[in-house]
Amino acid sequence: MHNTEAIKTLQYLTPEEIDKLLEKVEYIIMAAPAPDHFKDAPIHFTIFLNTQEELPEEIKEAVLEKFLEENAIYNPQHVMNKLAPVGFATTKQSSPMPMLLIQPQDVFSIPHKYLHVIDFLGESDEFEEVKRDSLTGWSYAYEE
């Protein structure tokens, strides 16, 4: 694995900026290297659905299956599928980086919005740069 620098946060978006950013966004998918000891699931995926509604279990399962199929992801492990606080930061990248906020101090100090988040480890041949170059990336999908 390559050693790569952490993505540097320049600033956090305000609640108003988050609302404007999420207009017409359907979802955001993020891929990052998983910890090295997860050899059979080397990619950490986070899918941010632009909804603040709690989804029924059968819908959660169907949405996860849809993303697995559409992105050629297999062997999902350690799946979290629930509403969670999400902040957004500007970086040197062209689009703001979504950030799943886990630590209470982050939830308290970083402006955020609750979105439906699916977070898991998995494998895919479609995200080779994540495994090969230890890159983290995200992509916004917009409503048609």
**pLDDT, tens only, 120-144:** 999 999 998 998 888 899 999 999 8
* 58 is a domain residue: yes
* 2 is a domain residue: no
* 108 is a domain residue: yes
* 1 is a domain residue: no
Residue 107 has pLDDT above 70, yes or no: yes
| Interatomic CA distance for residues 56 and 51, integer angstroms | 13
Q: What percent of the chain has pLDDT over 90?
A: 81
Q: What percent of the chain has pLDDT over 70?
A: 96
Average confidence score pLDDT of the chain: 93
pLDDT band at 4 (very low <50, low <70, confident <90, very high): low
| Interatomic CA distance for residues 90 and 129, integer angstroms | 22
| Interatomic CA distance for residues 43 and 41, integer angstroms | 6
Query: Mean pLDDT, to the nearest integer, of 20-28?
Result: 97
Listed residue (143, 141, 111, 117) closest to 19, CA to CA:
111
* 39 is a domain residue: yes
pLDDT band at 8 (very low <50, low <70, confident <90, very high): confident
* 47 is a domain residue: yes
What's the domain range around 60? 11-142
The one-letter amino acid code at 84 reads: A
**pLDDT, tens only, 45-90:** 999 999 999 999 999 999 999 999 999 999 999 999 999 999 999 9
Overall number of domains in the chain: 1
* 6 is a domain residue: no
